Amino acid sequence: MPRLKPEILRDINSRNLGNTRDNFDSLPKLLNLSYQKTRRWPGVGFFKLLISFLAVVSLVFGSVTAPTLSILAANDEAVSDNERQVLEEELHRLEGQIDEYEDQIVNYQKQGKTLKNEIGNLDNNIKKINLQIKAIKLNMNQIDHKIGETEYQIDTTRQNIETNKKALSNTLLNLYQNESSSLIELFLKSSKISDFFNDLNDLTLLQNNLQGSIQKIADLQDRLEEEKSQLSIAKSDQETLKMYQETKKGDAEVIKSQKNNLLGVTKNQESKYQSLLQENKKKAAEIRSRIFKLLGGGELTFEEAFKFAKLASQSTGVDVAMILAVLDRESALGKNVGRCSYQKAMHPKRDTPAFLEIVAELKIDPNSVMVSCANSDGAYGGAMGPAQFIPSTWQLYKEGVAKVTGNDPPSPWNNADAFVATALYLKEAQNQCSNSYSNKTSQERCAAARYYAGGNWKRHLWTYGEATITKAIKFREDIELITG
């Protein structure tokens, strides 16, 4: 079965997690973890004799003795566990508030989105009403123009009526004169018989034409008056419609103003909850940092990291600078250990069960620690602690880690355990790489690529692998300065 890989974290925020004590102090049988020189003080024998005498006295008289070192250590551990439990409870409370604030923010964002949509609809309605009012004004202008033309035609018709009235008067006068004369007189006045009949026909035709003209003029005047009346009614209707549309526009603008005010209130409330959310997230991050420190992790100075790496190197034979370079690439020496919850980041079948088993053994609230988020090289994250092992890989190495550090069970968030786990993985990877490369630098480059990508190490040989080698060279220079 292929070896699962620890994953690197690329998308995390830095947190200052403070320093932590040396977790290798519990392993005197495996490694010499003390850097203190042994000193002999005069009178040691006398003090030993005095202590023996006091012990005998206490046994004889039943005096209460002082707590032993083991009891003190147990008390310290109990205090640490109690403090961690209190912090986890506080973190749980803060996360509940964070969820509530996020829900409120989502609600206000939905309200804001709805209000924006409503305001957008009102804007569209107002624009539509403005166009309708513009169209009404154009219609009214056309009606005014038609009314003007009609009034002009009415004036012209009236002038025609006056002209025809004069012609009619003359005609009536002629008719009157002709009617007063007998046919014999008319006949005698005509020089020719044909003239007599022509005059008679002309009079008849003139009468008929005059009657027709009077009727047409009367009809035209009536039609124009009716058209003017209809145009006036149409204009009145348009004015009424214009007033109605302007009223609708005014109402829409009032509603829009109210919606804008409500939108402002909504944004203000959302901003307040955003502020509270960020404040609680900051507090939660600080609590997680303290929990991480209580678990034996936290950001390290180079000197502290060098001490851990040196001890891990002594138990595995892996170069100190390589251990430091890999851990610097993975978590900046314990500074960046993830910003995602296991529910969001981990492979649900491969890693989540293993993760829950790990935290259960360590008696850790699974929600109190963060893991790496997914990066561009994979669909899942979930790497834990400074070494950035995924849970399924950590399970393969935890027994080896426990044998070296004495921590049983070991913790991915403990600096001592993490350094040893990295060294054990690199040792195994270098052994595998020795089959392909004889040069030590090439083997280390290959081992670093395997640490990052497992079976896909060849794709990252000259990216992650080469960057790790470059960093290791820099660390070797720093180590020479420290060691002289």
Chunked mean pLDDT (size 10), the chain, 484 residues: 40 34 42 36 48 46 37 53 83 85 87 84 85 84 84 80 72 60 53 52 64 73 81 84 85 85 85 87 80 81 92 95 96 90 94 97 93 87 95 96 95 96 97 94 96 93 95 92 78
Q: Which fold has domain 297-483?
A: Lysozyme (1.10.530)
If you search the block for the tokens 């080698």, which residue do you land on? Answer: 469
pLDDT at 199: 56
Please report, for the chain, the start and end positions of each structural domain, with discontinuous segments joined by +: 95-291, 297-483
By the 8 A CB rule, do 311 and 401 touch?
no
415-433 and 302-316 are packed helices; what angle lies between their axes, rounded to 10 degrees? 50
Among left, alpha and beta (phi > 0; psi -120 to 50; other), residue 338 is left
pLDDT at 113: 84
pLDDT at 436: 92
Measuring CA to CA, which residue among 337, 305, 339, 335 is closest to residue 322?
305
By the 8 A CB rule, do 94 and 287 touch?
yes
264 three-class SS: helix
- Any idea of the CA torsion for 258, 261, 267, 270, to the nearest 10 degrees? -80
The structural architecture, per CATH, of the domain 95-291 is: Orthogonal Bundle (1.10)
328 three-class SS: helix
Phi and psi (nearest 5°) for 4? -75, 155
The contacts of residue 437 (CB under 8 Å, 6+ apart) are 443, 446
pLDDT at 391: 97
Alpha-carbon distances of 177 from 209, 211, 242, rounded to whole Å = 19, 19, 62
Half-sphere exposure of 367 (CA within 13 A, CB side): 12
DSSP letters spanning 420-462: HHHHHHHHHHHHHHTTT--SHHHHHHHHHHHHHHGGGGGGGII
Alpha-carbon distances of 131 from 94, 101, 124, 236, 472, rounded to whole Å = 54, 44, 11, 19, 73
